[in-house]
């Protein structure tokens, strides 16, 4: 996960500490509550993408998507959409329906991805799903193992 994140910015060491601290509850985004989870997508044993999120009271929301990343070589193949559906299901199971995400306005790929998946603009830097079930409804979760051997695995911390 750290290696994937470090491809965008920052170093592997920085992201290893940040992501493990976050998952262990030692590093907390503003207004975060303890429950949090992450899902990874693997292909032939390598991580090709991941998503992480937590419960929150930020912006009057119940959940926040913290990170979603897919390696460049595997983009536009629905990996992030599948990961988002898994996270949406987790939020739903937690009773967290209103979910926000911080988006850099200069990141058109992320904006397009979130809007395509039903998010709406909250303000310049934030998007919101007023009801995360819209993500679950867009497509029933695909089989956990896809035709090309990609597997979605879950690990969670609460
Ligand atoms: C944003 C990101 C996670 C999308 O991952 P992905 O696996 O390529 O997304 P999907 O294949 O599931 O895309 C679903 C839909 O989102 C939209 N979308 C995704 N990437 C897009 C792009 N670069 N340009 C325009 N639309 C895009 C499209 O509508 C796409 O459907 P389509 O391919 O049928 O047209 C990926 O580009 C990424 O890792 N970016 C770097 C990290 C980042 O910016 N994360 C978000 C902020 S933390």
Q: Helix (H, G, I), strand (E, B), or coil: what is residue 6?
A: helix
Give the pLDDT of residue 155: 52
In a domain, 5, yes or no: no
Of 58-72, 94-108, 138-152, where does mean pLDDT reach its minimum?
Answer: 138-152
Side by side, the strands of the sheet bearing 126-129 are 120-121, 126-129, 99-102, 63-70, 46-56, 32-43, 150-157
Domain-located, residue 86: yes
Name the 3-class secondary structure at 152: strand
Residue 115 within any structural domain of the chain: yes
Q: Is 102 in the pocket of ligand 1 (CB under 6 A)?
A: no
Give the Å distance between the CA of 81 and the centre of ligand 1: 8
Classify residue 118: in a domain, yes or no: yes
Domain that holds residue 41: 32-157
Is residue 158 over pLDDT 50?
Answer: no
Instruction: Write the CB contacts of 140 (distance below 8 Å, at least 6 apart in sequence).
Output: none
Residues 21, 156, 94: CA angle, nearest 5 degrees: 115
For residue 61, give the CATH number of its domain. 3.40.630.30
- 1 within some domain: no
Q: What is the pLDDT of residue 76?
A: 97
Task: Pick the more confident residue, 158 or 71.
Answer: 71
Residue in 107, 113, 119, 138 to alter for ligand 1 test, most ligand atoms within 8 A of Cβ: 113
Q: Verify whether ligand 1 is closer than 6 Å to residue 31 (CB atom).
A: no
How many domains would you assign to the chain? 1
How far is residue 137's CA from residue 133's CA, in Å, rounded to a whole number? Answer: 6
- Does 130 fall in a domain? yes
- 111: helix, coil or strand? helix
80 assigned to some structural domain: yes
CB of 110 closer than 6 angstroms to any ligand 1 atom? yes
% pLDDT > 90, the chain: 85
Residue 89 maps to a domain: yes
Ligand 1 binding pocket mutation candidate from 4, 80, 87, 118 (most atoms within 8 A of CB)? 80
Looking at 8-149, which runs of residues are DSSP E strands? 32-43, 46-56, 63-70, 99-102, 120-121, 126-129
| Beta bridge mates, 127 | 101, 121
- 41 and 151 Cβ atoms separated by less than 8 Å: yes
Give me 151's structure tokens. 């597997």
Give pLDDT tens digits for 81-140. Answer: 999 999 999 999 999 999 999 999 999 999 999 999 999 999 999 999 999 999 998 655
């Amino acid at each position: 996960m750290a290696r994937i994140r470090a491809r965008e910015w920052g170093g592997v060491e920085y992201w290893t500490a940040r992501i493990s601290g976050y998952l262990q509850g030692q590093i907390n985004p503003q207004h975060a509550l303890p429950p949090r989870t992450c899902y990874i997508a693997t292909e032939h044993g390598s991580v090709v993408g991941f998503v992480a999120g937590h419960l929150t009271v930020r912006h009057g929301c119940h959940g926040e998507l913290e990170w979603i990343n897919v390696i460049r070589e595997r983009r536009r193949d629905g990996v992030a959409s599948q990961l988002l559906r898994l996270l949406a299901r987790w939020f739903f199971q937690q009773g967290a329906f209103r979910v926000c995400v911080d988006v850099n306005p200069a990141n058109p790929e992320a904006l397009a991805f979130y809007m395509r998946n039903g998010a709406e603009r909250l303000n310049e830097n934030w998007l919101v799903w007023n009801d995360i079930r819209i993500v679950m409804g867009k497509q029933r979760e695909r089989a956990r193992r896809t035709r090309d051997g990609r597997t979605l695995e879950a690990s969670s911390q609460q």
